[in-house]
Structure 1
Amino acid sequence: MAERATRPAPLTGLTVVEISAFVAAPLGGMTLAQLGAEVIRIDPIGGNIDHSRWPVTQEGNSIYWASLNKDKKSITLDLKSEEGQAIASEIIASAGTLITNLPARGWLSYENLSRRRPDLVMLRLTGNHDGSPAVDYTVNASSGFPAVTGSDGTPVNHALPAWDVAAGLYIATGVLAAELERRCSGQGQEIKIALSDVMLATVGNLGYIAEIQTNGKSRGPLGNALYGAYGQSFATEDGREVMVVAISNRQWRSLGDATGLSEKLAMIGPMLDVDLTTEGGRFEARDAIDAVLRPWFARRTAEEATKLLADAGVLQGVFRTFEQLVNEDARCTTDNPLFTEIDQPGVGRVLAPRSPLAFQDTVLSNARPAPHLGENTDDVLASVLGKSAGDIDRLRSRGVLSS
């Protein structure tokens, strides 16, 4: 059989400018960069508000910033000056695509930028659909999820910036959709996305809004139980916690086989008058099921329990801290093609993921370090705008570029 020919990364040839901060927009830009786009991040001299965001190294370098800006180019300009704004506008016009979460006014408005590039594709992220500000943790507070997280009814605003992450992926999707439309019609457009709308769409798409309108009440917190099916966490002999999920009937039978408790588990149905062959029945009987299973886990280490469960085909996972993830989980190593070890300036040698997408015939590059702030300023001004060394020196002497 002839060997398959490999193709360049799918977004090779696409250039995107990013003027942003925090999580969602930088993640959207990095997602495109990891698929082959040239992404040029423009920051004010000294960095945007997220340039020193925690976590940081002992020297104060932002691990966060480096992690969200891999595979990009970085330039800095005095964006408060008319000359700096004009240079940024020229770069945006040359690229033809812009991602930003900055306000839609003045030089950065679509109306202004599209005068230079009529077919400009520009995606702007806002907090709320009316343009008012919001961040992930204020959006999440209103989502309903904190009220059903935990076990005692106290709202828990979890640490995962879920809406930022989802918005970042929507940003990449929106840019690609507009790029496809432009290639068909020759026309550009402004795309708007609100962080709170990402939350609302997700809550609606998962059925939570319709559940309230249909059933008239909200579910309460369940700890680590799985709503509407069977799932629970169990303490093991060595002080760890294992999460177990049995959704299908096959998985339910496998849980009984792995633990040797099939007969005892089967007795629960007639005692409680529930049908354990249904997800709803297992959910209703969850407390009794938990009571039967907990001693089995308490007599075994997490490693012993998960091996027996995995061998039987039971869905399971050990709860880990970030430290335990890095030190214990084989998936978080270079044995997984997702990861590459890179030398990140200002941070050190670290594991870095590339795009998790795996294409059959397209080769995606391994992760590449984030640039240091402003690293590519001179190169971009020369290659994109044709500025000479003398031009660049004069811009630097006037404070438009960092010295």
Structure 2
Amino acid sequence: MNDGILHGMRVVEVSAFVAAPLGGMTLAQMGAEVIRIDGLEGGLDYRRWPVTEDNTSLFWAGLNKAKRSVVIDITKAQGRELAQALITAPGKDAGFLLTNFPPRGWLDYETLRGQRDDLIQLTIQGDRHGGSAVDYTVNPRLGLPYLTGPQDVYGAVNHVLPAWDLITGQMAAVGLLSAERQRDRSGVGQHVKLALEDVALAVMGHLGFLAEAQRGEQRQRYGNDLFGAFGRDFVTRDGQRIMVVGLTLKQWRSLCEVTGISEQVDALAQQLGVDLNREGERFEARKALAALISPWVASRTLEEITAIFEDSGVCWSRYQSICTLLHEDPSCSEQNPLFKLLEQPGIGRVLTPGLPLRFNDQHRTPQPAPQLGADTEAVLMDVLGLSSGEFGALHDQGLVRTSVS
């Protein structure tokens, strides 16, 4: 049973793909009871890749940890009424709906509010008009694919991380909790709307991309160089690739000291007439600085560099595959309290992360995702007060399903 900082809070989630499930999982990992409602065959993302040999989704399991799963035939009126009853069920710490489905029909806010006037509903949208959007459609509009990739590449280069989905998911959790705080003070619920595109546009403004363009400056591709400071990749003597960053002055001075180039850097600064203690001027001189560091890296193995850089104040990392991360990196193992090897239904033992937040410096033990419909009977009986006979009748009519149906 959850006993985290949000213990007692009950949230109903009707969702698919990344942002909304991530928001719900964040709340669940903090101790909220998050009840995911799906149709009889699961949601739109129930078979989303990557999958196992028998088509069990690793994606779905990863984004639904610590939740409860209820399966209802929402194509039928009686099933939709059951789902609405779950959403609007009484309780001081209940009455929360998180969804990324259009707020109409049985998910219409005003309709639900008629059953519980202090309902808090957070709806994730593609754009502010309610249109469809995902990272792969938002990024092209932002111009980021023209900044990604090697400098000599022409055209757009997409990247694989759904950044806006991830940020939106976290903002959804924050939005629900903020609305809950207001309701606690005023007794008033509300319909909170959060558009993926707006999240992306806001971040573009926060990071200076929009102001830069407004000044008439078109940012170029810089490959693996860190824009606005010194940072780039180098190849070691044994063919390994590392990333070295001198963003802050402390990081930069540590890098110069351990590589023994401090005097050469001072001479270069005098020659170029620049102050290399300033990050922007390090960026301008990045090629000359890389030429000083590259021979030092190229003459040493990764093991030698690791021993030198460790505890030196240098900001760096090695490039490694996900398989190497999993099998060789202690940070991605049970040596890190974030992780536990758990039995995931339908998949087997999986290295499972918990919540990165540590309250009072304590990690909560991660919990696996439920099997589809695993909690249908318990939730309907506990939350709606159905008897076993009433639940059995619904089951026999095909309106609900359990994990063993």
* TM-score with structure 1 setting the length: 0.95
Counterparts of residues 314-333 of structure 1 (less than 5 Å)? 314-333=314-333
1:251 corresponds to:
251
SS of 2:106 mapped into structure 1: helix
1:165 corresponds to:
166
The alpha carbon displacement at 1:364 in A equals 5.4
1:390 corresponds to:
389
Residue 31 (structure 2) pairs with residue 31 (structure 1): no
1:200 corresponds to:
201
**Partners of 2:225 and 2:231 within 8 A in 1:** yes
* Two-structure CA RMSD over aligned residues (Å): 1.5
1:110 corresponds to:
109
Deviates more, 1:302-311 or 1:69-78: 302-311
Deviations 1:113-135 (CA, angstroms, capped at 9, x unpaired)? 11111100000011000111111
Deviations 1:247-283 (CA, angstroms, capped at 9, x unpaired)? 2333222112111222223222223232212112111
| Distance in 1 between residues matched to 2:308 and 2:170, nearest whole Å | 37
SS of 1:387 mapped into structure 2: coil
**Partners of 1:74 and 1:375 within 8 A in 2:** yes
The alpha carbon displacement at 1:153 in A equals 4.4
| Distance in 1 between residues matched to 2:25 and 2:87, nearest whole Å | 17
1:296 corresponds to:
296
**Partners of 2:337 and 2:363 within 8 A in 1:** no
Counterparts of residues 32-111 of structure 1 (less than 5 Å)? 32-94=27-89, 95-111=94-110
SS of 1:142 mapped into structure 2: helix
SS of 1:190 mapped into structure 2: strand
Deviates more, 1:325-334 or 1:263-272: 263-272
The letter of the residue matching 2:148 is T
Identify unmatched segments of 5+ residues in structure 1: 1-6
1:191 corresponds to:
192
The alpha carbon displacement at 1:163 in A equals 0.4
1:267 corresponds to:
267
**Partners of 2:204 and 2:210 within 8 A in 1:** yes
| Distance in 1 between residues matched to 2:206 and 2:280, nearest whole Å | 21
Counterparts of residues 168-247 of structure 1 (less than 5 Å)? 168-213=169-214, 215-247=215-247
1:4 corresponds to:
none
The alpha carbon displacement at 1:239 in A equals 2.0
| Distance in 2 between residues matched to 1:132 and 1:307, nearest whole Å | 52
The alpha carbon displacement at 1:190 in A equals 0.4
**Partners of 2:338 and 2:363 within 8 A in 1:** no
| Distance in 2 between residues matched to 1:114 and 1:153, nearest whole Å | 52
The letter of the residue matching 1:204 is G
Q: 2:4 aligns with which of 3, 9, 14?
A: 9
Q: What is the number of equivalent residue pairs in this alignment?
A: 395
| Distance in 1 between residues matched to 2:329 and 2:141, nearest whole Å | 34
Deviations 1:31-50 (CA, angstroms, capped at 9, x unpaired)? 00011100000000010110
2:147 corresponds to:
148
| Distance in 2 between residues matched to 1:305 and 1:66, nearest whole Å | 38
Deviations 1:143-201 (CA, angstroms, capped at 9, x unpaired)? 22221111234322110000000000000000000000010000100000000001001
**Partners of 1:35 and 1:364 within 8 A in 2:** no
SS of 1:76 mapped into structure 2: strand
- Poorly superposed stretches of 4+, deviation over 4 Å: none
SS of 1:316 mapped into structure 2: strand
Overall identity of the aligned pairs, in %: 49
Deviations 1:217-239 (CA, angstroms, capped at 9, x unpaired)? 22101111111111111111222
**Partners of 1:75 and 1:377 within 8 A in 2:** yes
**Partners of 1:18 and 1:39 within 8 A in 2:** yes
2:346 corresponds to:
346
**Partners of 1:34 and 1:364 within 8 A in 2:** no
Q: 1:390 to 1:364 in 2, by over 3 A?
A: farther
The letter of the residue matching 1:234 is F
SS of 1:369 mapped into structure 2: coil
**Partners of 1:338 and 1:355 within 8 A in 2:** yes
The letter of the residue matching 2:310 is A
Deviates more, 1:332-341 or 1:272-281: 272-281
**Partners of 2:7 and 2:31 within 8 A in 1:** yes
SS of 1:320 mapped into structure 2: coil
The letter of the residue matching 1:149 is T
| Distance in 2 between residues matched to 1:237 and 1:374, nearest whole Å | 54
SS of 2:394 mapped into structure 1: helix
SS of 1:291 mapped into structure 2: helix
**Partners of 1:153 and 1:220 within 8 A in 2:** no
Deviates more, 1:259-268 or 1:102-111: 259-268
